[in-house]
C-alpha cells in the first residue's frame, strides 16, 4: 500500500512539475513579446496594437501596446476600438450560415433566388451558378477584389448602388469567369451576401448582425455601424508614416466594415474553436463551423466558407482565419480548432502588417518548440529612415544619403522599390512634387527594369510641369510592361502615339510547348506553366492561375500584377529554368523533370 501511495505521489509530483514547466514557458514567451512589440511599433512607426493569444481554449495574453491617440497620450487598452478590414467577412459569414442552419438559405442555391433589389449583370456565364457556397468561398467567378473607404464627409451610396459601381473606384460587381472553376477573391461577392441577408431577414444587415451574432457572442462593443459609441472608444487611424488620417466608412459593411476591440475579437476567436468543450455559444453548431473551416471545391485548399485555411510548412499544423487591411488598419486572426489555440492581433497604422507578421511568426515557432531567435526578423522600411532625414536636413542630399545607407546598412532596412514608391506618393499627395521627383528618381536608378518606378516618376514629373521628361518615363514604363493601361492612357491624353511602343508577338507552337512544365523558384514554391490553345498560363503554389502574354520570344508579362517571367534556354536550345521579375527582384528556378 505504501509503495502504491508513493507511486501515486510521484506521479502527481511529476504532473505538477510538468504543469509548472508549461506555465513557465508561457510566461517566458509573453515576457519576450512584452519586450519585442514596443520595439516593433517604434521600428515601423505604428502607434499602437493589441494582441490576444489562446492556449488550449484559455486566454494567455490579452493586452494593448502603444497609443490610440499619440498627441493626447491615450494608450491602447483591451477596450480600444479597431477596424478589422476583411476579417469582417468571416464574421459576416456567421450571419449567412445561421440562416443556412435555420433553413432560410440553401448553400447551393443560386444567389439570384434571394435577390429582388439588385441582380447580377448579364454575361456570357450562367448566373445560376453563382451560389451562396461559392460566394462564401470566393469561387463564384466575380470581379471586385476589395473596397476603398469613404470619408466622413461623403454621402455613402446604397448597397445596390455600390454593387452597380458607385463604390469609389473598383467598378461594378459582375461575373468575369466560369463560376465554380477557380478561386478568385471577391469583396463584391460579400456585398451580394450582405444584400441577401437583408432580403431574407427584412432587416438592415448591421441590425441583424448585432442582434443575431455579435450580441449573443458577447461582442457588445463591436458593430458594423459607426455611431458615437463606437467613435468615442476607437483608436485614431494612421498612415504608413504614423500620421493621423481620416476615419473611413463603408457601404460594403460585410466585406470591410466591422469595428471591434481585442476583448470582443478574442470572444469571436474562442467561439470559432468548435471542438472546445468550453465552447458554449449557441449560434452555430460544431458541424457547421467545421464545414466553414474545410476547403471548399475549387478553392485550391486555401479557403472554406468565410475562413481562409493555412497549412504551416514543415509541420502538421493547419490553421483557419483571415487577414484584414483597410487604410490605416491591419488585423490578423488564426485559430486551430484541433488544439484549441488562437492568435489575434489588431493595429492602427499603415505598416501594421509588419507587426503582426513578425509576432505571428514568433508564435508559430513557439508552438512548434523552436526558439524565437531572429528567424522572424523583418527589417524596417528605408522610407521611414529617409523621411526622418528629409524632415531634419531637407531634400538636397537625399540621393547620397540613400546610396550611403544601401552601401553600409544593406541588411538593416527594406530597400525594395515599394518602400520608396510609398514615400514618393506620400509627398506627391501632400503637394510636394519636387520631393516626390527626387524620391522617384532614386527608385528609377535603383530599379531600372521596373515599369512601375518609371510610371511613378513620370506622374511626379507631370505634376511638376516637366511634360517632356514625363512622356519619356511613361514611354519607358509601357515598353517594360505593355499591360500598363494607365500609362498608355496618360500618353494618349498627352497626344502621344503609342502604337510603336510594342507590337504583337507571335511565337511558334513548338517553342510555346517547350515552356510547359513546373519551375521550382524556392522550396515549396513552384510556378506551373500551362497552355490553353495559344494562351499561355502561369500558376504559383497556392495561388490562382493567371494568363501571361509574350513580350519577346522567351519573356512574358502578367496583366494582373506587375511581373515578368523569362524562360532561360541553354546552348542546345533546351529550356532549363525560369526567372521571375517582380518588385525589382529577380528569382530563378530550375525546370523540374516530368
pLDDT digits (tens, 9 = 90+) for 132-146: 999 999 999 999 999
Q: 290 burial class (0-12, 13-18, 19+ CB within 10 angstroms)? A: middle
Dist CA 120 CA 232 (whole Å): 39
For the chain, the C-alpha Rg in angstroms (whole number) is 26
DSSP assignments along 302-327, one per residue: SB-SS-EEEEPTTSS-EEEEEEEEET
Within 228-351, residue ranges assigned H as helices are 228-233, 253-256, 262-271, 286-292
Q: How far apart are CA 437 and CA 175, in angstroms?
A: 40
The answer to whether residue 544 scores a pLDDT higher than 80 is no
- Per-residue pLDDT, 1: 42
**Distance, CA of 499 to CA of 501 (rounded, Å):** 6
For the question of whether the overall pTM of this predicted structure is more than 0.85, the answer is no
| Structural domain spans, the chain | 82-367, 382-501, 509-591
Backbone dihedral angles phi then psi of residue 341, each to the nearest 5 degrees: -110, 165
> What pLDDT band is residue 504 in, cutting at 50, 70 and 90?
low
CATH fit for domain 382-501, picks 1.10.238.10, 3.40.50.300, 1.25.40.10, 3.30.365.10: 1.25.40.10
Look at residue 374 in the predicted model and tell me its pLDDT: 60
Q: What is the pLDDT of residue 293?
A: 98
Residue 501: pLDDT above 60?
A: yes
Q: How far is residue 478's CA from residue 471's CA, in Å, rounded to a whole number?
A: 11
Torsion of CA 542, 546, 551, 552, to 10 degrees: 70
Nearest to 100 by CA among 136, 129, 128: 136
- Is the domain spanning 509-591 CATH 2.60.120.1440? The answer is no
Residues ≥6 apart with Cβ < 8 Å to 14: none
Q: What would the grid cell of residue 422 be?
A: 510609398
User: 49-65 burial, b if ≥16 CB within 10 A, otherwise e?
Assistant: bbbbbbbebebebbbbb
CATH homologous superfamily of 82-367 equals: DD-peptidase/beta-lactamase superfamily (3.40.710.10)
According to DSSP, the β-strands at 318-326 and 308-311 are: antiparallel
pLDDT in tens, 5-14: 444 444 333 3
Point out the least confidently predicted range of 315-319, 441-445, 466-470: 315-319
What are residue 64's phi and psi, to 5 degrees?
A: -100, 150
Task: Quote the CA–CA distance of 480 and 532 in Å, as a whole number.
Answer: 25
Share of the chain above pLDDT 90, in %: 72
- 10, HSE (Cβ side, Cα atoms, 13 Å): 6
Each as own residue / partner, the long-range contacts of residues 11-17 (CB below 8 Å, 24 or more positions apart, any chain) are none
By C-alpha distance, which of 424, 377, 431 is closest to 402? Answer: 424
pLDDT of amino acid 14: 38
Q: Is 579:590 a contact under the CB 8 Å cutoff?
A: no
Q: Read off the DSSP letter of residue 499.
A: G
Residue with cell 516593433: 40
327 and 243 in contact (C-beta within 8 Å)? no
Q: State the chain's maximal CA–CA distance in angstroms.
A: 100
pLDDT value of position 505: 75
What is residue 593's DSSP assignment?
Answer: P
| DSSP H stretches of helix in 175-276 | 187-201, 205-209, 228-233, 253-256, 262-271
Ranking 235-249, 311-325, 429-443 by mean pLDDT, the lowest is 311-325
Residue 370 pLDDT > 90, yes or no? no
Question: What's the Cα-to-Cα distance from 53 to each of 219, 430, 578, rounded to whole Å?
Answer: 18, 39, 41
Amino acid at each position: 500500500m505504501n509503495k502504491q501511495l508513493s507511486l501515486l505521489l510521484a506521479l502527481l509530483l511529476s504532473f505538477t512539475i510538468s504543469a509548472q514547466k508549461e506555465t513557465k514557458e508561457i510566461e517566458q514567451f509573453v515576457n519576450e513579446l512584452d519586450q519585442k512589440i514596443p520595439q516593433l511599433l517604434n521600428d515601423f512607426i505604428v502607434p499602437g496594437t493589441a494582441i490576444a493569444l489562446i492556449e488550449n481554449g484559455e486566454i494567455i495574453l490579452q493586452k494593448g501596446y502603444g497609443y490610440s491617440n499619440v498627441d493626447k497620450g491615450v494608450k491602447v487598452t483591451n477596450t480600444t476600438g479597431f477596424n478589422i478590414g476583411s476579417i469582417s467577412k468571416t464574421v459576416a459569414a456567421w450571419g449567412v450560415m445561421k440562416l443556412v442552419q435555420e433553413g432560410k438559405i440553401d448553400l447551393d442555391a443560386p444567389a439570384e433566388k434571394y435577390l429582388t433589389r439588385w441582380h447580377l449583370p448579364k454575361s456570357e456565364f450562367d448566373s445560376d451558378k453563382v451560389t451562396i457556397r461559392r460566394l462564401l468561398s470566393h469561387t463564384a467567378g466575380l470581379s471586385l477584389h476589395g473596397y476603398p473607404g469613404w470619408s466622413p464627409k461623403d454621402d455613402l451610396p446604397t448597397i445596390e448602388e455600390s454593387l452597380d459601381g458607385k463604390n469609389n473606384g473598383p467598378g461594378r460587381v459582375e461575373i468575369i469567369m466560369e463560376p465554380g472553376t477557380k478561386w478568385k477573391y471577391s469583396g463584391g461577392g460579400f456585398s451580394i451576401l450582405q444584400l441577401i441577408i437583408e432580403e431574407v431577414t427584412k432587416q438592415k444587415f448591421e441590425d441583424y448582425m448585432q442582434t443575431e451574432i455579435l450580441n449573443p457572442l458577447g461582442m457588445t462593443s463591436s458593430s458594423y455601424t459607426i455611431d458615437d459609441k463606437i467613435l468615442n472608444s476607437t483608436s485614431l487611424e494612421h498612415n504608413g508614416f504614423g500620421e493621423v488620417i481620416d476615419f473611413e466608412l463603408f457601404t460594403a459593411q460585410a466585406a470591410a466594415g466591422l469595428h471591434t476591440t481585442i476583448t470582443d475579437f478574442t470572444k469571436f476567436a474562442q467561439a470559432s474553436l468548435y471542438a472546445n468543450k468550453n465552447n458554449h455559444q449557441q449560434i452555430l453548431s460544431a458541424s457547421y463551423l467545421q464545414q466553414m473551416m474545410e476547403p471548399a471545391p475549387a478553392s485550391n485548399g486555401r479557403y472554406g466558407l468565410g475562413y481562409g485555411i493555412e497549412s504551416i510548412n514543415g509541420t502538421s499544423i493547419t490553421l483557419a482565419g483571415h487577414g484584414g487591411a483597410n487604410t490605416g488598419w491591419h488585423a490578423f486572426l488564426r485559430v486551430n480548432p484541433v488544439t484549441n489555440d488562437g492568435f489575434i492581433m489588431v493595429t492602427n497604422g499603415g505598416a501594421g502588417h509588419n507587426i503582426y507578421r513578425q509576432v505571428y511568426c514568433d508564435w508559430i515557432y513557439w508552438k512548434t518548440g523552436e526558439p524565437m531567435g531572429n528567424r522572424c526578423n523583418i527589417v524596417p522600411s528605408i522610407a521611414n529612415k529617409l523621411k526622418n532625414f528629409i524632415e531634419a536636413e531637407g531634400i538636397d542630399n537625399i540621393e547620397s544619403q540613400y546610396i550611403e545607407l544601401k552601401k553600409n546598412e544593406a541588411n538593416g532596412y527594406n530597400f525594395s522599390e515599394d518602400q520608396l514608391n510609398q514615400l514618393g506618393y506620400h509627398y506627391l499627395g501632400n503637394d510636394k512634387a519636387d520631393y516626390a521627383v527626387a524620391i522617384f528618381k532614386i527608385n528609377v536608378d535603383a530599379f531600372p527594369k521596373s515599369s512601375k518606378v518609371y510610371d511613378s516618376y513620370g506622374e511626379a514629373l507631370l505634376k511638376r510641369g516637366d511634360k517632356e521628361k514625363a512622356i519619356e518615363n511613361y514611354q519607358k514604363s509601357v515598353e517594360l510592361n505593355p499591360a500598363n493601361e494607365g500609362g498608355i492612357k496618360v500618353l494618349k491624353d498627352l497626344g502621344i502615339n503609342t502604337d510603336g511602343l510594342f507590337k504583337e508577338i507571335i511565337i511558334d507552337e513548338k517553342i510555346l510547348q517547350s515552356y510547359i512544365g513546373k519551375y521550382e523558384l524556392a522550396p515549396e514554391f513552384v510556378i506551373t506553366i500551362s497552355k490553353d490553345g495559344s494562351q499561355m498560363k502561369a500558376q504559383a503554389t497556392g495561388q490562382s492561375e493567371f494568363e501571361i502574354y509574350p513580350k519577346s520570344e522567351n519573356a512574358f508579362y502578367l496583366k494582373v500584377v506587375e511581373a515578368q517571367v523569362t524562360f532561360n534556354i541553354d546552348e542546345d536550345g533546351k529550356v532549363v529554368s525560369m526567372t521571375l521579375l517582380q518588385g525589382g527582384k529577380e528569382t530563378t528556378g530550375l525546370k523540374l523533370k516530368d
